[in-house]
Structure 1
Amino acid sequence: MRRQLEGPHLPTLVERVRAEYGNSARIVSAERVRRGGVGGFFARERFHLVIEVTPRPGQVEVRSGVAPDGTVSGPVLAPPAPATSLLELADRVSAQEDALRAGAAPSPEVSTETPAFADVLARLHDTVAEAAPPVPRTAPRVFPDLTGRAEALGIPPTVLVGAHDPVVLYRRLAAWLESFPAPPLPAHAPGQVLALAGELPAALRVAGVLAREIGAAQWDIFVVTPSPSSVQGIPLARVFGDAAAVAAQRRSWGQGRPSKVVVVDAPMLPDLRGWAHGVLAALAPTLTWGVVHASSKPGDVARWAARLGQVDALALEHVAATADPASVLTQCPVPVGLLDGRRATVEVWADLLTARLEAER
């Protein structure tokens, strides 16, 4: 018989197949879908697995329902929609997000057939079948000295103690990442004023990404800097030099008007923090995001954000340049919203950290 399982994390589903159906289960299809959301935000990602189960003598059928880990199971009466390669799905999701930023309409689900999918299913089936073989056939893939390398990345060593299996490793990372508060995200709606504080080149890059996410046009991007003549690529009519000019312009951005993105020149320099704080107070933005280099010390970022006032989220740039990307999660109270222009979801963080752990082997 066939059964369908659904949940937020693929490793959790595979573990559930192991626990409930043993090595007789065969994975027929696997699919990651994204539903809902507005303008690329708030979409929920879930995995769907369809498995073929050979009932064991005396086995009691597990009825449809929701498990404590958030997965859902139920009988399958017909084959599911075509599934996608899990190895390529992250790239396809990223491609859809790029298309979304470029103005293309998003599809309600991400599901694309690929010839490589049969190979993926075979490997997933092997993962289930090798859960508890009577006689070990090959040595399992292990991660020696994992806790030390995790700590070097900024992950508390207790998170990965005993995680010598790739599935367990991913589950532990995902559970730890989910314990952090999600950043407040701007909505795709009119009347918003989104402030981005940081060094101008980096903040302007992030401004272009978030402007498209909230439906703001390029001419709705403004800059505030103590050196207006130094700004490149933005007409002087959209460049302000002090808090008074910002306050006068802010009054014309009433409710129902197109959303605005305002870049505030606020590098982590002591002499500019007070000036930037005054600009942000006059601007009274809907949300304030700080744009920082990922290799900046988390303590310095926290102090910089406190001097600016209310910073709701961080956009980290040049993540590859830092040796401990996860340290900002534990040492800075401001949540992370973007990693090099990508939304900092649990999946994106987990993929980043898993790749770093693999690279350090």
Structure 2
Amino acid sequence: MQELQDRVRLEHGAHARIISAERVTVGGVRGFFARQHFEATVEVGPVHRRAERALLDVPARLGIAALLDDADAAEARSNGLAGDASISTESDDFAALMDDLTFATARTSSPAEPLGAPPDAPAPLARAGDLVLVIGLTGEALEVARAMVLLTANADLRVGGSLSAPGLDRVDDRRDALAARARGVELDQTTFVAFGLARPGVDASADLALRTASIGSVGADQVWVVVDTGRKVDDTARWVSAIAESVHIDAVAAVGAELTTSPETVSDLRLPVRWIDLGVEARSSGRRAAAPIRGAADRSR
């Protein structure tokens, strides 16, 4: 509030005072990813003498005058008129107009950027030596990582966090990640790491701080979060927000659309979304094949 009071005095003079102030929250999902600003109502001193108007808020009024000149010049150009026409600034009416403009524009804040649709989700990386981290609460992360591996020409699958699987090496810290990268460069393959946040039967919040620290140390080239759209939106937003404070999230791998009536709520996370069908069918070769990975636009059809 002190910063707001200082700004009011600077823009409206020493006699200006704040009548009311309100904190405004824009966007976000139940408090997450929201932006905040203050809107204040300001009372300025009386404007009965032009001498007082001339002394108050000189920098602000000079700035307004420059803006008016620019606007007049642009309008003249659009109408095919000469841009050097002069405007009288000596009348009392003009001074009163300047006072009104100074007060009005000083309170105007930049409008919030429209939320719009999030950008398209990228494809999983497929270069030799790249490390792709697939993070989920439980086993969905391993299922999605397997699907990505099956769609990559040459890839290695590993696990980390709360997940474990027979025959799969682990990546839990930077040393493990460097070893996996070196192996990937040697064998010309990409490494996918399925990273679990919660142990079966244990509240995810109990291990979340420890898991996010491990995630930050891995230093992945690409990070996906696996979101089950059948879970509560608040719970999902909470752990995704915790991950976002530790690493940059490139995209959401959304699953479980067939088990919920409102799968579109995943877009509230304001992250690129790619829908993944985990239903797989056995081919004649006996290898499990993942269904196509679809973008958000495909899911809406």
Q: When the two structures are superposed, what TM-score results if normalisation uses the length of structure 1?
A: 0.41
